[in-house]
Structure 1
Amino acid sequence: MGSDTQLMNNVIAALHKEFSVKDLGKLSFFLGIEALFSTDGLYLTQRKYTVELLKRSKMDKCKSCITAISTTSNLSVNDEGDFEDPFLYRSIVGGLQYLSFTRPDIAYSVHQAFSDVDWAGDRDDRRSISTYCIFLGQNLISWRCKQ
């Protein structure tokens, strides 16, 4: 994607020499992100991804709230939970974490409620378990690690 058609064609030709390349036309969806073109520019949204995540978690009919976080919860492996499908739970949490990359307004709530982001805050073994790196090309732009 770019404004220089000749440069784009040269890059595509170079890639085609090494890989099987297929032109899919104008960008519409990529990795759960919808691209909307207008005269003002390009807008990226994850509305469809968000709606699908809400439907998968059966929360699409719920009322919205300002902050979707309990400020007093402290989870433990010994607590009995209402969530019976651990695979679905992990899938939804992973989806929310992916969504938080483009939605910084929910990042705090997602990582405070579903991750061990405070040092030794795990009630069971006092360890920190969360870490991730975000790269843009070769550049590290975020590193979240507790050792």
Structure 2
Amino acid sequence: MARILTLEDQLGGVRPRALPHPEPARGARGQPLDSITSRVECFIFPVVLCFGTLNDDVYMSQPPGFIDRDKPSFVCKLQKAIYGLKQAPRAWYKELCSFFLATGFINALSDTSLFILLHGDTSIYLLVYVDDIIITRNQPTAIRKYIDMLASRFSLKDLGNLSYFIGVEVTKTKTGILLTQERYITDLLTRHMMQDVKPVSTPMSSTAKLSLHSESKLDDATRYRKVIGSLQYLMLTRSDIVYSVNKLSRYMHCPTTEHWQAAKRILRYLGGTRSHGIHYSRNNVSSLHAYSDADWGGDRDDFSSTGGYIVYLGSHPILWSSKKQKFAVKSSTEAEYKSVSSTASEVQWVTLFYPSLESLFYLFR
């Protein structure tokens, strides 16, 4: 296994694992105690795509119910973006970005959805995902001014302390926060009628030898593709299924019965570990390090190799991936070096905004 160390030479690595769901921290009267997420708030824009200003000339037919009786053949020239317009997401982001930059925020170069405000002893971090916003700060009173400014410009709905964000559940604990997707897994199992199946201890059999032509093809591949697509979203918090899901994703164009059995095994594994997730402790060492690994010619169809990596900030996993290499290699050493190269690229990307991550880490201590 190849190991990459950056910023710290003497830091021992921690292997990735799924943690069980701990009980939320509670006080004497049963009320949740203040923790990290008490400093993290979530907001939503109810009509997000209607705010973007269009710079191009865009015309549309008169909508049903609003047709001018005197000029029914006329078209409308749009001044603002509307739902269904291809330019709407870009126009909305430009509008929002311009507002944040005008109010003193800076846009992170390595991640355009992250906005940072550092003014004196005040630190505010703002993360945008379409119409959802997460805001955190080091001083409770500092953020109110910016929230009021945001509400005066856009229609804004305050969802309170962060507990659920784009399918990820955020649970406060005595030692930090736990990110899980238990509700998403339950819905997935229910949708495919596997909520009461017998669980297994691993997502994939160690003796599985999958190939493109193994067993007979599925008559209808729609269900297989839906399951794999859903599992790919689960990889946000479940690094333990990354390799298995990546393996099965290679056969989405022509799945067989063996591939479908392997996909159901992952669902059975999730059924027994649906409360597992990633725990981020408030007591963490602020150092960056990574691990990489690769097999050699593991694919039975084209003999290409599979590489993987995981990047840690202290003991917290922040990036992970398992991906088939594009070309076959002549030795295991070459496969390892290709994996190391990919890992080094990811570490370099993280270092671009590492100072922001480091100050955000100290904000939560």
TM-score norm. by structure 2 comes to: 0.30
Question: For 1:66-77, what aligned pairs fall within 5 Å after superposition?
Answer: 66-69=201-204, 71-76=208-213
1:102 aligns with 2:254: no
CA-CA distance at 1:103 after TM superposition = 0.7
CA-CA distance at 1:46 after TM superposition = 1.0
Which of the numbers 248, 253, 257 marks the counterpart of 1:113? 248
Which whole-Å CA distance do the structure 1 matches of 2:248 and 2:221 have between them? Answer: 18
Gaps of 5+ in 2: 1-39, 41-135, 252-295, 305-318, 328-365
Gaps of 5+ in 1: 129-140
Instruction: Quote the residue 1:136 is aligned against.
Output: none
For 2:241, the aligned partner's letter is I
Question: For 1:15-94, what aligned pairs fall within 5 Å after superposition?
Answer: 15-69=150-204, 71-76=208-213, 79-81=216-218, 84=220, 86=222, 88-94=223-229
Which whole-Å CA distance do the structure 2 matches of 1:12 and 1:102 have between them? Answer: 29
Which whole-Å CA distance do the structure 2 matches of 1:47 and 1:112 have between them? Answer: 23
- Kept in 2, the 8 Å contact 1:35–1:43? The answer is yes
Which whole-Å CA distance do the structure 2 matches of 1:89 and 1:10 have between them? Answer: 49
Larger strand percent: 2
What are the Cα deviations for residues 20-76 of structure 1, in whole angstroms up to 9, with x where unaligned? Answer: 211012322211111212333322211111121122222222222233335211135
The alignment partner of 1:72 has SS state of: coil
The structure-2 alpha-carbon separation of the partners of 1:142 and 1:102, relative to structure 1 and needing over 3 Å to count, comes to closer
Larger Rg: 2
For 2:170, the aligned partner's letter is A
CA-CA distance at 1:79 after TM superposition = 4.4
Report the RMSD for the aligned CA atoms in angstroms.
3.5
Which whole-Å CA distance do the structure 2 matches of 1:55 and 1:114 have between them? Answer: 22
- Kept in 1, the 8 Å contact 2:168–2:179? The answer is yes
- Kept in 2, the 8 Å contact 1:69–1:113? The answer is no
Which whole-Å CA distance do the structure 1 matches of 2:168 and 2:233 have between them? Answer: 11
| Residue-pair matches, total | 131
How many percent identity over aligned positions?
Answer: 33
Question: For 1:119-138, what aligned pairs fall within 5 Å after superposition?
Answer: none
TM-score norm. by structure 1 comes to: 0.67
